[in-house]
Amino acid sequence: MQKPLSTKQQQFLDLIQRHALTYGQSPSYAEIMSALRFSSLGTVNWYVKTLIKNGHLNRTGGPNSKRALTLTEKHPASARLPLLGFIAAGTPIEALENAESVEVPAPLVHPDNFVLKIKGNSMIDDHIEDGDYIIVRKTQSAEPGQSIVALINGEATLKRYYPQNHKIELHPRNPDYPIIHINETDDFQINGIVLYSFREY
């Protein structure tokens, strides 16, 4: 019989499942330490051992395996996030506000997350196609190479982000589309980074 979880233990399990959904593998101990702001890898190891002992976590591949953590019971399969409208994966278009919501994997539900529906095919090399949905985390900063939701002169677009010296380039992932060059006169803002994409059948 499983023991009840503390808030931090629940966050630990949520992180493992969310990371596995997003990246196709469980997080490393170092990634867990950074994400949960633990002071040492020993703390991560203590949580792993405790959660295994209490029946919430499995570690496959032996005691030295650092990316082999799986949950013994799945979290609720899905939950819902707000669908804030459409975004262009092509030329920029205006994002549309509405009150709909979309079913998404439960570990990706967060107060700062939302869903947008894709129009266009400029990101197909990232397996993001017309009609797909993306889950976005609200933020005003991003790392080079991340896929971002950007506002350019009031219009939203989805592209890879590449700051270069005093310039910014937004790269499509389809050779049929041009790179967008952000000028000093442009009103440019990052609205979020892409965490996950999916489609409905």
* Complete domains list, the chain, with CATH: 7-71 (1.10.10.10), 78-198 (2.10.109.10)
Distance of CA 145 to the CA centre of its chain: 14
- Residue 92: what pLDDT? 74
pLDDT at 86 exceeding the cut of 90: no
pLDDT at 95 exceeding the cut of 70: no
pLDDT at 194 exceeding the cut of 90: yes
- Residue 199: what pLDDT? 83
**Mean local confidence (pLDDT), 83-87:** 86
34 is catalytic: no
pLDDT at 23 exceeding the cut of 90: no
159 is catalytic: yes
Select the more confidently predicted residue: 38 or 98. Answer: 38
- Residue 77: what pLDDT? 57
- Residue 174: what pLDDT? 96
- Residue 59: what pLDDT? 81
**Mean local confidence (pLDDT), 66-76:** 70
Active-site hit among 122, 141, 147, 167: 122
pTM over 0.85? The answer is no
The percentage of the chain sitting over the pLDDT mark of 70, rounded to a whole number, equals: 88
pLDDT band (50, 70, 90) for residue 104: confident
**Mean local confidence (pLDDT), 35-54:** 90
Active-site hit among 117, 147, 159, 197: 159
pLDDT band (50, 70, 90) for residue 16: confident
